[in-house]
A and B are shown apart, each in its own frame.
Chain A
Amino acid sequence: MLDFIVLFITVGIPLSSALLLASLGETVNQRSGVFNLGCEGVMCMGAFVGMFIPYLVGGSAKVAWYVNVAGLAAAAVTGALFGLLFGIVVIKFGAPQGIAGIGLQLFGTGLAGSLYRHFIGGAQGVAGIDAISIPVLSELPIVGKMLFSCNPMVYFSFLMVPVVHYILFKTPWGLKVRACGTFPRAADSMGIDVSKTRYQALAFGSAMAALAGAYLSVCYAKIFTDTLVGGRGFIAVALVYFGRWSPLGVLGGAMLFSLAQALQLAVQAYGFAAFPYEFLVMLPYVLVVVVLVFVGKSKHVGPAMLGKPFNREMRT
């Protein structure tokens, strides 16, 4: 039984990283008042760009660490650009964000898939970034393997939880972001450029989403496929609601969801074949719906003007 638990947590932690990065990014987006349902598309683009750079340099062979990092950085930049593109549509022109998000999702997933087939094709992977074992700590029984033998990006994603928390709640920029999401007119009256702040938040959030995608292709699967991201972008958006727009809440959501997923993998690995695995795959999604039903609906926590475009001259 202990083995089973260790296995399932060891599988769960790497699974959670992509969700965590993307949801943290989306948290910042939403705190500024922009709802990016196109997260999935941005993640796909990140996944493609992230692996494309190391692939260009070394194909499927091992490449120097900085090439992989360059891939991640390129992914983040691509993500930020996609965020700005989305910003033009929803911030500048004030288009309905739900629909525009679907557009971005289709555009991103389609483009990433097309580019992959054109420039890489087949089922070619990259060597990517391997897990590293932290000396001494990884020798510890049980927790060593679970917590201290992970991919560097996993550590990075967990590190981002306090970082994003600090950014949102302890910096002037975070203050601005929160003001723009709750009462943009007030922010505007104090000289804050609401659109600019939202663009910045969107660029940051989308860069995070793209990093999440790149994590999947460079660190986790080490290959790109059309289904690599597999709906994680949508889950990430749901987790933001789940976590009530707080980085810690998002962490809880991402862990819960990933562990539920890992449970399914672990059960399969242990060969309980008689149990239809589809129902286990379904479990995390059901869980999200159930939790969305029960999360508190307090008015004063989240960004009240989420999804509402701001235009100084439009008086509503």
Chain B
Amino acid sequence: MKNFKLLYTVGVILLSVLLTLGIASLILAVLGADVLKTFWVIFCYPFTTFKNISGVINIMTPLTLVGVGICVAYRSGIMNIGGEGQMLIGLLCAIVFALYSGIEGPLSIPLILLTGMIGGAVWGFFPGILKSKFGVSELLSTVMFNYIATQLYSYCLRVPLLDPAVAGGAGDPQTVKLAENQWLPRINEIIENTPKGTRFHTGILIALVLAVIVYLFMWKTPVGFKMRAAGASDRAARYGGISVNKYLVLAMLVSGACCGLAGTVEILGVHHRGLGNCTGGYGFSGIVVALFGGLHPLGVIPAAFFFALISFGCSALQINKIPVPSNVIDVLMGLVILVIVAAKLIIANPYLMDRTQRKLQSMLHRKEAA
């Protein structure tokens, strides 16, 4: 019986992987790509050079940060799809602070990061309070707040923060560059003998540390315990004297702060200035990462690496002369979500397992009889 459960679980996972690969191959074939070569570019090409690997890790950094933030929210019973907006507002606050506070030098970096976290937390606070006070579904409010953030950000970029160099329509709106001593150091500035000439920055260390801190917070402190209890069963938590609404808002604050930090790290590590599209859609893909990581902060780390890998691979398709649009990354992610959520439920369904077991047994019996 116990063995069958293992067999069943492994079987379902294997089938899901095969199904995902099958559908993905089909779509790639329709798009006219050489399927095997495409998979090679997606899964293997990123490992071919140090530059590629550092590219993967630079993508992994914001994905980890957002993913961890989503975990906190989800574990506390609130589905945060406002990561994009929280990233934007976080990085906007960080840029304003970096440009106008007059604080420079290495000490300014933690302060800028903190500002970014506060910005994101504020943007997470609104949907949280709307849900706890007025019962507004966070699935809708966070999406609305994404749009509002996008407009706020694009206004700030276009008017008050506009780089004079591109004023008057000379290019896409952007801010001026941050002072160089406000940038996150590159890896090769810290570790000797690493190849130079990549954008490999130290944000990944921040991401890994945050994942561990959030893990400790959620699993080793009473506050985290209460948040998880509230998320697992709001009624039982309420009956147990836990103020579900309070922890729900707290969860959105923490979640927003993580997303805000993700945005800020992108700015300080990669772009060094505010640009039109600097969230890279990580606010959304972070959700996939969180799910793939089993909604556990430490599980998010490998999940983020995996998605960074295929994300980098998909963006490298064109250079490798594979005529597939880079949107294909969304298709793959969507597919993975749909398959994961279904597979999870199939594994967790004792009735289905029972029936499968009996069916298999009767099939075996028939074979033996024959």
Contacts and interface: CB of A to CB of B under 8 A. Distances in A.
Interface of A: 37, 41, 85-86, 88-89, 93-96, 98-100, 102-111, 113-115, 117-118, 226, 231, 234, 237-238, 241, 276, 278-279, 281-282, 285-286, 288-289, 292-293, 297, 311, 313-314
A109 B330 contact: yes
A94 B346 CA distance: 9
A100 B327 contact: no
A34 to B, nearest CB: 14
Contacts of B345: 93-95
A226 B147 contact: no
Contacts of B332: 110
B134 A293 contact: yes
Nearest to A112: B327
Given A109-B327, A286-B144, 6 more contacts: A98-B79, A100-B342, A111-B334, A234-B143, A238-B143, A278-B152
A292 to B, nearest CB: 5
Interface in B313-341: 323-325, 327-338, 341
Interface stretch (B154-162, B222-230, B356-364): B154-162
B92 interface: no
Contacts of B324: 114, 118
B142 to A, nearest CB: 10
Given A234-B140, A286-B148, A102 B331 contact: no
A128 B31 CA distance: 25
B31 A37 contact: no
Nearest to B27: A111
Given A110-B329, A110-B333, A110-B334, A99 B143 contact: no
Nearest to B81: A102
A51 B26 CA distance: 23
A279 B141 CA distance: 18
Contacts, number: 154
Interface string B128-166: 001000111101110111011001101100110000000
A285 B144 CA distance: 6
A289 B151 CA distance: 15
Looking at chain B's contact residues, is the secondary structure mostly helix, strand, loop, or mixed? helix
15 contacts: A41-B334, A89-B338, A95-B345, A96-B341, A102-B81, A103-B333, A110-B331, A110-B334, A114-B324, A234-B143, A278-B154, A279-B151, A289-B144, A292-B137, A292-B140
Contact of B351 (A113, A276, A313): A313
A113 B158 CA distance: 28
* Most chain B CB atoms below 10 A, which of A113, A114, A293: A114
A113 B327 contact: yes
B177 interface: no
Contacts of B152: 278, 282
Nearest to A107: B334
B326 to A, nearest CB: 9
Contact of A102 (B27, B32, B284, B335): B284
Interface of B: 27, 30-32, 79, 81, 130, 134-137, 139-141, 143-145, 147-148, 151-152, 154-155, 158-159, 284, 287-288, 291, 323-325, 327-338, 341-342, 344-346, 349, 351
B155 A106 contact: no
Given A95-B342, A106-B284, A237 B140 contact: yes
Contacts of B145: 289
B327 A117 contact: yes
6 closest A-B pairs by CB? A110-B330, A107-B334, A103-B337, A106-B334, A278-B155, A95-B341
Contacts of B291: 99
Given A278-B154, A293-B136, A314-B351, A106 B337 contact: yes
B114 to A, nearest CB: 27
A231 B323 contact: no
Contacts of A281: 151
B337 A102 contact: yes
A37 B325 contact: no
A86 B147 CA distance: 26
B331 A107 contact: yes
Contact of B334 (A104, A115, A237, A285): A104
A86 B342 CA distance: 10
B335 A107 contact: yes
B342 A93 contact: yes
Contacts of B335: 103, 107
Nearest to B329: A110
Contact of B325 (A108, A118, A289, A297): A118
Nearest to B79: A98
Contacts of A286: 144, 148
Contacts of A292: 130, 134, 136-137, 140-141
Contact of A99 (B136, B154, B341): B341
A138 B164 CA distance: 50
Contacts of B158: 276, 278
Nearest to B126: A289
Nearest to B346: A93
Contact of B31 (A86, A115, A226): A115
A276 B159 contact: yes
A86 B337 CA distance: 12
A113 B330 contact: yes
Contacts of A99: 79, 287, 291, 337, 341
